[in-house]
Structure 1
Amino acid sequence: MSTHTDTRSDTLGTQGFESDLRWYLRGLGGLAVFLLVWWVGAMVTQPSYLVPSPLDSVRAFVDLFATTTSIVVPISGSNLVLPTGLAHLTETLFHYVPGLLLGASCGIGLGLLMGWNGTFDDWLRPLMDADPGTVQSTVAIDVERPRERTAHEFVEYVVQIRAELGEPRPH
């Protein structure tokens, strides 16, 4: 049994380079096929604004940053002149961030209250566990959590609730 190993660094370097080159060429080939399919799709689709060509998309992207737009900052009311693409992104964030902060604050606050206060948890737990599509406001909600039941027990529970509600009427 031979324990001799080849320690020449040029052998490992060549193999690594060839595999890297093949990997990059496959990536470039995939990109070329994607651009070709996009270009053909743009040529056959009418009206042309539904699927713009790759070149039209690049031109539109460059125009987003070549022109400027003035936006009004909601908090201070001042005007801010930015490249058009950045202005659109900023206006989107002015709508997104306050909603995210409000939703996260309410969710975290309710979660903390439910964790600290058992009565508050008893009141809100059925709403958190309920499936909004199947529960009607006239039915008393079982406080026991469905995920703590076996599958067979859960199916029996659903059949019981459907029997109490009656079958839903088709719309």
Structure 2
Amino acid sequence: MIASRQPLPLHRSLALGAIGTLAFLGFWAFLARSGLVSPLFLPGPVAVAERFATLTERPFAGGTLPAHVASSLQRFLIGYLLAAAVGVPLGLMMGWSRLLDDIVTPIFDALRFIAPIAWVPFAALWFGTGIGGPILIIFAGAFPPCLINAYRGARYVDARLLEAAEMLGTPGHRMIAEVLLPAALPSIVAGLRISAGLGWQSLVGAELIVASTGVGYMMVQAQGAVSTATVMVGMVAIGLIGVVIDVALRALETRLRRHHG
């Protein structure tokens, strides 16, 4: 029988993470200096760090790195919040109403298997390089987890709570807002965390094609200029922002799970 995995103490977890990071950076630096790969295509960590510092002050592809990051975050927040605003209430209502569930599920099941990047041609045709295209693609990536987790949370609400609310004559909108939503909140937050990751990945894919600003756009322009260090700076920025978003939502999820038992 396999023993259950126990969480490591915080200091040990941080130490192991630091060891892994240093090992990765060391291997990267060794590979860059070995001559096996041209520095033009694989700059070392120091060169990328220097380029990162330069881009925070010197514009590239129409803006500095903070300006491109701000543009990407603006698109992400609009698309992500729109997906949550539509997906969570719709998922709760589908979990509560069998009729609505039967109406929406066939359409949703057909659409959710379409990869967000497949919407790029439509986004380019409908919106060009405006803000609407990336928002559509982010919505396509972030919407399904919001709906699915809200739906599951509503379906697994204790039946006694629903029966008690129905006996008291609770109207439908109050049933969703005051019974289903609080009970399904941990599941909803878990879905929002997954949704944020998919939405952020979808944004970068969208900016590679249908945007004129943003981190993804900066990377495409750097590719054309054969500036590998700039491309890697964009990748680092994308990863760091993704980690910050995930850590914030993970902390919220942990807090809610403790509160709700």
> Which of the pair has the greater relative contact order for Cα pairs under 8 Å at 6+ separation?
2
User: Shared fold (TM-score greater than 0.5)?
Assistant: no
Q: With structure 1 as the length reference, what TM-score do the two structures score?
A: 0.43
> What TM-score do you get using the length of structure 2 for normalisation?
0.30
Going by fraction, where is helix more abundant, 1 or 2? 2
Report the structure number with the largest CA radius of gyration. 1
